[in-house]
A = this chain, B = another copy of it.
Amino acid sequence: MTQPRVDLDTSIGYALKQAAAALRAAMETALRPLDLTVSQYSCLELLGQRPGLSAAALARGTFVTRQSMQTLVQGLLDRGLLERAAEAPEGRALPTRLTDEGTRLLADASAVVAAVERAMVADLAPAGQRRLHADLVALAAALADRSS
């Protein structure tokens, strides 16, 4: 290895962090009027597309611990946006679903987030967007099993 250092101006990792931070900040701003945090929106969105997920599965899908997701889900339950089975149909996993109110709020939230995402990728051609998506998924896959 000739120069195994990191150069901020060319580092993909730094640019990745920068883009993720910008996206998170923009989403926070967009979701504030709906009284939703980014994590709460992520939970609702995931649940909207994958109904019946357990809290642990939601945690994996939103990249937080299941303990954090637990308190997050509890808050959404208290707000009447989610409903959860009282008993586990199998194992210990408690299937969770959106309520009607949760579905309505998610529709609004999804719209504003989609607007942010469209603005983010507005300068990329459709082919470039697909390529970027594939690259990002490949980055995550290449780092799998490196976080033990």
Contacts and interface: CB of A to CB of B under 8 A. Distances in A.
Interface of A: 4-8, 10-13, 15-30, 42, 45-46, 49, 63, 110-111, 113-124, 128-129, 132-133, 135-140, 142-144, 146-148
Most chain B C-beta atoms within 10 Å of own C-beta, residue among A21, A111, A139: A139
Given A5-B114, A26-B143, A146-B26, A132 B12 contact: yes
Nearest to A112: B4
A37 to B, nearest CB: 14
Most chain B C-beta atoms within 10 Å of own C-beta, residue among A4, A30, A119, A128: A4
B8 A17 contact: no
A4 B143 CA distance: 31
B142 A12 contact: no
B13 A116 contact: yes
A28 B148 CA distance: 9
A5 B111 contact: yes
B17 A133 contact: no
B117 A6 contact: yes
Given A22-B140, A139-B22, A117 B45 contact: no
A137 B13 contact: no
A143 B45 contact: no
Contact of A13 (B5, B18, B29, B117): B117
Contacts of A19: 16, 20, 136-137, 139-140, 143
Given A146-B119, A147-B29, A17 B15 contact: no
